[in-house]
Structure 1
């Protein structure tokens, strides 16, 4: 068949439907769909690729450190020595493993060592530096002593912030760290002893004790403070120091119950004992151990948990021995179900809580500038606890809810004041611990043997509250992180201006 002039040549049909060419818009849509599908089925990095160590700084106050040394630092050993001394100081002052690790990574990265490895195991810190085609360096430091020095911990936190901001070199940082380690604590020893007793007196008033109970708690805590100091000079293990202190404060309360108090008013032993044992509880260590467990440091958390349980066991042992002695001298049975109505109005309780938190801050050697903000956080936590109990949320969940609020506010306040969260959270959260439950459970376990299951249940309930408070503080810290990125950057901008 001949083709007419001007007629286009038709392709021979193969019986398949004809397809129209895709438009530019359809091509872009197909490409976007392929990219989305690729993201769903393929990871950003190969599964076996190692993560960058600097990625551990995400979410911390030290994210995106300013690198001060281009390339590999030729004096890497000096930088690693400084980082280990920094880590040792933080551990001694009570910092958690995650805070120590992020501080080491931030400092070494800012000083030119970006490909180090950090391993923290309970009391030891190991740093390994293995640059390509160079001899690797591995250093280990073991921390063998601890001390109450939250002011020193805040200063170390500020030093790390200044280094990350690029305003402090290694030599200057080493000099400042020496000053921090050698500087005296903010408060003298006699003031710490008095603050220990003041906290006990104020807390006794908060939980329902009158002036007489507060006076007895004040005197007994002065005595156990002096006893602990004397036993410490004799190098007595902490377990026996804690047991001796809990025994003394309990036997004093039982003797006053048996023979009468000097003020002429019979004082319930539970009130006095609670005020005495609360500061003996290892609250800071417990919060750090829970934080380490949640943040992926199981060995460090296990070591701190064991130390915490030993201290808790020492408290229980001291109370139990005092009960046995009291029973042998003819102590009258105690009504452990007795409740204590508020002895003061709410406004007076708020003032006493504030004074008690300030006293805790003094015993922990907190910087004096942080005392009032910490007291404010503690008062808010106490009001949340009262509100939760009024709403009948439960005796276990109410302290945990208040601890979440304390943990959240503590991170915001601490970063604003240039300190780590632990410095504010631990003193503010101590008022949430169940001292009365511990006392009642130990009495039932030791004296009323027929009710041993009731006593064991009470101890489990007290343990649940203690761990709930610690976990709530850590959860509050985590919830506050999205709201504190700006505070961290502001802190670094202030450091650059200095």
Structure 2
């Protein structure tokens, strides 16, 4: 036993000094890189990267995947350029040869986290020794895999998110039901406009208008003292709709690209995020103005609507995370991890608020905890970290602050004091959004080196058991 232990220690010391040829992956770099082989390798690497980018990966992850695949098959020094709408890959073998450059235009990003999970698994398989032709075939199978859920499931999942937001705020059963119906109407409206190929900006306007119209009807029925609608909080309906329509925005991806140095990609994503947010704002403003013309007034909350009890917060956060994971095409494993991380985020937020920290800072802490634990958990359960992080921070999106600000601007009648009352909540909402993006990005960067260290320790222990 002592001899065996001494032998293991000597092996560990030897691995520190030199590499072990037997541990090298079986994938062999092509000794003769003909033009055909180079194009095949670059085409596979670029298509994998382009597909990852189209389903929600960051520019850094896309660049790393492309370089990693190309290096496995013998192409070193590959140049990759990722912009908001295109991916280009270039390889120059030497001074006497022409460079080989491939470019692919990236279609509009549409999150599909199950496909992203399979693409990341394919990159790992390639690194572990998959043949080039076999890898090309595996990629074609993944690329043609349809979205995991039927459209009707996606629509009801979007409406379920509004239910989670209403529960998060401790709403009454009638408000929860109305939030579900309003969100479902907005989801069907946006789905119909998508089939007509209406730009997303106008689709966001239509969705915001539908949500506000339902809220105005509820407020009118409450003023008329119709039994089920008396003493209800219609503001929660709009807040739920705002979270619904902002839940698909790539806040974390845009912040991560900006920090990684992909300024052009980050700028494109931020502009896209801004336009979609402005669409929601315009839709709500149009709805509020139309309600005012018809003599319907929605009561302006004097203070921010607080979250409900801790049980309601956790239950609402879990429902929101599950709904986000569903309409982003996530599998059961991603759904379960998202639900767990959303609980971590909301508990971290509530604990920080209890300590007297303001909502922007508390939101950043909640997002930081969720993303940090998420990136450590993601490796062990083989899920994309961006998928679970996105679903976890959606419960902290400032829906009520946005609505209070917009309603204050509409009720201001152009006076400076009234405008300031409306601008204040909007500034708070923007601060919370920045806090979420910064906290989530910081958590990813703090967790990445620790995850690498844990991975190396696991590999070392696995070798010692042999």
TM tier, smaller: 0.7 to 0.9
Match of 2:191 among 220, 223, 229: 229
Is residue 2:334 matched to residue 1:370?
yes
Deviation, structure 1 residue 353: 2.0
Query: What is the alpha-carbon distance in structure 2 between the residues aligned to residue 161 and residue 208 of structure 1?
Result: 44
Match of 1:173 among 93, 114, 135: 135
Alignment of 1:49-198 (within 5 A): 68-71=28-31, 73-74=33-34, 75-132=37-94, 133-164=96-127, 166-198=128-160
Deviation, structure 1 residue 238: 0.3
* CA deviation vs aligned residue, 1:385-413 (integer Å, no higher than 9, x gap): 01111111112110011111111011112
Query: What is the alpha-carbon distance in structure 2 between the residues aligned to residue 76 and residue 370 of structure 1?
Result: 36
- Asked if structure 2 preserves the Cα contact closer than 8 Å seen for 1:246 and 1:315, the reply is yes
Alignment of 1:85-484 (within 5 A): 85-132=47-94, 133-164=96-127, 166-260=128-222, 263-281=228-246, 283-332=248-297, 334-340=299-305, 343=308, 345-448=309-412, 449-450=414-415, 451-484=418-451
Query: What is the alpha-carbon distance in structure 1 between the residues aligned to residue 232 and residue 203 of structure 2?
Result: 26
TM-score (norm 2): 0.87
Residue of structure 1 equivalent to 2:3: none
- Asked if structure 2 preserves the Cα contact closer than 8 Å seen for 1:161 and 1:491, the reply is no
Would you say how many aligned residue pairs link Structure 1 and Structure 2? 429
- Asked if structure 1 preserves the Cα contact closer than 8 Å seen for 2:92 and 2:99, the reply is yes
Deviation, structure 1 residue 333: 5.3
Residue of structure 2 equivalent to 1:4: none
- Asked if structure 1 preserves the Cα contact closer than 8 Å seen for 2:216 and 2:291, the reply is yes
Distance 1:490 1:67, change over 3 A: farther
* CA deviation vs aligned residue, 1:261-314 (integer Å, no higher than 9, x gap): 673434222100111121211554121111000001001111111000000100
* CA deviation vs aligned residue, 1:344-398 (integer Å, no higher than 9, x gap): x423432332122111110111121221111001001100101111111112110
- Structure of greater Rg: 1
Deviation, structure 1 residue 111: 1.1
Larger helix proportion, structure 1 or 2? 2
Q: For 1:441, what is the secondary structure of its paired residue?
A: helix
Q: For 1:157, what is the secondary structure of its paired residue?
A: helix
Query: What is the alpha-carbon distance in structure 1 between the residues aligned to residue 270 and residue 152 of structure 2?
Result: 31
Query: What is the alpha-carbon distance in structure 2 between the residues aligned to residue 65 and residue 490 of structure 1?
Result: 19
TM-score (norm 1): 0.82
Query: What is the alpha-carbon distance in structure 1 between the residues aligned to residue 282 and residue 249 of structure 2?
Result: 21
Distance 1:489 1:283, change over 3 A: farther
Deviation, structure 1 residue 492: 8.9
Query: What is the alpha-carbon distance in structure 2 between the residues aligned to residue 71 and residue 416 of structure 1?
Result: 35
Distance 1:341 1:138, change over 3 A: closer
Q: For 1:470, what is the secondary structure of its paired residue?
A: helix
Measured on the aligned residues, the alpha-carbon RMSD in Å equals: 2.2
Query: What is the alpha-carbon distance in structure 2 between the residues aligned to residue 363 and residue 220 of structure 1?
Result: 17
Query: What is the alpha-carbon distance in structure 2 between the residues aligned to residue 212 and residue 282 of structure 1?
Result: 23
Distance 1:418 1:285, change over 3 A: same
- Asked if structure 2 preserves the Cα contact closer than 8 Å seen for 1:127 and 1:138, the reply is yes
Q: Which moved more, 1:386-395 or 1:128-137?
A: 128-137
Query: What is the alpha-carbon distance in structure 1 between the residues aligned to residue 126 and residue 454 of structure 2?
Result: 17
- Asked if structure 1 preserves the Cα contact closer than 8 Å seen for 2:300 and 2:408, the reply is no
Query: What is the alpha-carbon distance in structure 2 between the residues aligned to residue 328 and residue 417 of structure 1?
Result: 54
Query: What is the alpha-carbon distance in structure 2 between the residues aligned to residue 456 and residue 339 of structure 1?
Result: 14
Give the gaps of 5 or more residues in structure 2. 1-23, 461-466
